[in-house]
Amino acid sequence: MLSETPILSLDNLSKTFTLRPAFGRATKVHALRNVSLDLMPGRALALVGESGSGKSTVGRMIVGHHTPTSGRILFEGQDIAELTTRADQMRYRQAVQMVFQDPFSALNPAHTIRHHLLRALSLHQPEADPETALRMILEDVELDPTSTPAKFPHELSGGQRQRVNFARALAVKARLIVADEPTSMLDVSIRKSILGLMQRLKDEHGLSLLYITHDIATAEYLAEDTAVMFRGQVVEKGPTAEVVGAPQHGYTKLLRAAVPDPELRLTGSDAGFAAEARQVRDLSAHPVRALQEVSPGHLIAEHAEAAHA
Amino acid sequence: MSALLSVEGLRVDYLTAGEPFTAVRDISFEIQPNEILGLAGESGCGKSTVAYALMRLHKPPALVRRGRILFEGRDVLSFSDKDLRAWRWSEVSMVFQSAMNSLSPVMTIFRQFYDMLRAHGPITKAEAQDRTAHMLEMVGIPADRMHSHPHQLSGGMRQRVALALALTLQPKLIIMDEPTTALDVVVQREILQEVLRLKDELGFSVLFITHDIALMAQISDRIGIMRAGEIVEIGTAAQIVTSPSHDYTRSLWEAMPILAKRPKGARHAV
């Protein structure tokens, strides 16, 4: 287990965006600060955090939308910045696919589902018989293989469109899927079925998943490992059972406590939550000095200038 | 106790090229003073159409075909335009899902308060400023932010501003259509506790619309479950949580990934 090479490693990754408005001074935004993560093959790693925590930036850097300001991204031990030949780059882009939050804008409205999938198939699996491959892929994502190919994206529901996006990743024989909030624009009633699909892709196809989400409950449902991000830093990471089940860092505890629990009635007289939220946010924004191992594989951040709550 | 709002047999159709599409099918419910009524359902079930129809904000092709909406016994559907303008916001107001769309991007926060206050009675600029400052502080935003434009505020702050705007004229009913869906859970919790605190302080009713029934169960007194334009079940929050009687309600619960176990001593419980 420990001797296995991670399929993907982030090594001290930082990203600074410089905003240059038309007027006024340029400002720097530290979107990521020294993020290190390992994703093991055939497993799912959930990256949890609020909006603006930098979790999507991580996903976008992995698929090459952004280049790191510093630090390395290692795919099966090899630094992706060193993939200079076109063949190597193609191999990496084929192996790592992204599924976006918005299933509506990720598909071209002017083309049928057949076109979307055949294009991916002909580019990446030219040897396969396209019609058979198309059928198999649609069956894999639980879409009707006879009626779906002729449909246009607008004829499908959000959940079905998200399945097409996963099908496209399968069509190129991806080994790692970066799924950025794949369920958050879907109805609650179909959310679980998409999570179930990801689970099955992982178990049956041996796919590795980086599951980016703000919903800690779905992370628990899907992922073996979880990392919690806040203001561009990883504040806690480790096995999901421990990170979500028994969180140690103040921010994870806060996130955990805020998940709606139908059995817990909220009242207006409780100012404690807001006060604590403010305090925890202030403490957790400080630079992380070191990660402390609280149990095997379970690490929490120690913040400079302030001990965490 | 007489109901603040009662809806009787409301039917809303959308006119289409073919057959009219019935989005809301003869639904009836009541909201009592000081009560939070939740309306839950999937997208497309008609819950937002109900919200718009209650404030008569629905526009063609939507059409109220049948039914009555009584607000303190007055028939809302027979209001004249003038009555409507006076009634909206001073007695019933609304918080929309996306504060990015409900606030004007080209006006400062103060300007939006000033517009709204002037529309409902004579007020000087200085008075309006005092009022705005008071309302912003009430929802936890420093008063000097009133001179900011919406894009200078975070999503959570914008939603607080929308809430402050909805509360300023002290309406008796606030309709909240997915008010926190775009926010993360921590901010969501903060804002909802703020709503509950203000409700204790000012006293108003809320029609709370969301697809997140776990969240709804945390704050509503009663919950109605909608499907395909009908209310399939309505009951107290406790009953909907512990003993839902309709299959659809049960399937909604089953579809939710819920955290396995709470950390011990769930802090800030009640």
Give tens-digit pLDDT for A117-168.
999 998 888 888 989 999 999 999 999 999 999 999 999 988 899 999 999 9
Phi, psi of B33 (to 5 degrees): -55, 140
Question: Which of B159, B193, B253 should one mutate to test binding to chain A, selecting the residue with the greatest count of A CBs within 10 A?
Answer: B193
pLDDT top residue among B258 and B234 = B234
Structural domain count, chain A: 1
Q: For B187-209, how does the pLDDT look when each residue is reduced to its tens digit (9 = 90+)?
A: 888 889 989 998 999 999 999 99
Residues 6+ apart with CB under 8 A from B57: B94
Q: How far is B222 from chain A (nearest CA, A)?
A: 13
Q: Is A272 inside any structural domain?
A: no
Q: Is the pLDDT of residue B270 over 60?
A: no
Question: Span A29-56, mean pLDDT?
Answer: 92
Q: Is A288 inside any structural domain?
A: no
Which of the four pLDDT bands, split at 50, 70 and 90, describes residue B261? low
Which of the four pLDDT bands, split at 50, 70 and 90, describes residue B267? very low
Q: Is the pLDDT of residue A15 over 60?
A: yes
Scanning every residue of chain A, which has its alpha carbon at the shortest distance from the alpha carbon of B240?
A262
pLDDT at A1: 47
Q: Is A275 inside any structural domain?
A: no
Q: How far is A160 from chain B (nearest CA, A)?
A: 15
Q: Is the dihedral of CA A97, A100, A104, A105 positive or negative?
A: negative
Phi, psi of A111 (to 5 degrees): -120, 155
pLDDT at A116: 93
| Contact yes or no for A38/A9 (Cβ under 8 A) | yes
Residues 6+ apart with CB under 8 A from B95: B102, B159, B162, B163, B166, B174, B175, B176, B177, B179
Interface A:B, Cβ pairs < 8 A: 140
| Contact yes or no for A286/A303 (Cβ under 8 A) | yes
pLDDT at B262: 52
Q: Is A188 inside any structural domain?
A: yes
Q: Is the pLDDT of residue A307 over 60?
A: no
**In the predicted model, what is the mean pLDDT of chain A?**
90
Interface contact B211-A187, CB threshold 8 A: yes
For the domain that residue A215 is a member of, what is the CATH number?
3.40.50.300
Using the Cβ of B200 and the Cβ atoms of chain A, whether some distance falls under 8 Å is answered with yes
Write b or e for each residue in A229-240: b if 16 or more Cβ atoms lie within 10 A of its Cβ, otherwise e. bbbbbbbbbbbb
Q: Is A307 inside any structural domain?
A: no
pLDDT at B237: 93
Q: Is the pLDDT of residue B8 over 60?
A: yes
Question: Span B156-175, mean pLDDT?
Answer: 92
Instruction: Tell me the residues of chain B between 126 and 145 that have a Cβ less than 8 Å away from chain A.
Output: 140
Which of the four pLDDT bands, split at 50, 70 and 90, describes residue A69? very high
| Contact yes or no for B65/B229 (Cβ under 8 A) | no
Rounded to whole angstroms, what are the CA distances from B74 to A17, B68, B84, B207? Answer: 56, 10, 12, 18
Lowest mean pLDDT among A22-31, A174-183, B63-72: A22-31
Q: Is A295 inside any structural domain?
A: no
Question: Span A187-212, mean pLDDT?
Answer: 91
pLDDT top residue among B212 and B1 = B212
Question: Span B226-255, mean pLDDT?
Answer: 92
pLDDT at A196: 92
The contact set of A with B (CB < 8 A) is 50-51, 187-192, 195, 214-218, 220-221, 244-247, 253-274, 276-277
Global ipTM: 0.78
Using the Cβ of B221 and the Cβ atoms of chain A, whether some distance falls under 8 Å is answered with no
Using the Cβ of B225 and the Cβ atoms of chain A, whether some distance falls under 8 Å is answered with no
pLDDT at B265: 42
CA A117/CA A134 separation, integer angstroms:
7
Domain containing A141 equals 8-234
Q: Is A171 inside any structural domain?
A: yes
Q: Is A296 inside any structural domain?
A: no
Which of the four pLDDT bands, split at 50, 70 and 90, describes residue B227? very high
Q: How far is A149 from chain B (nearest CA, A)?
A: 25
Q: How many CB atoms lie within 10 A of CB A133?
A: 19
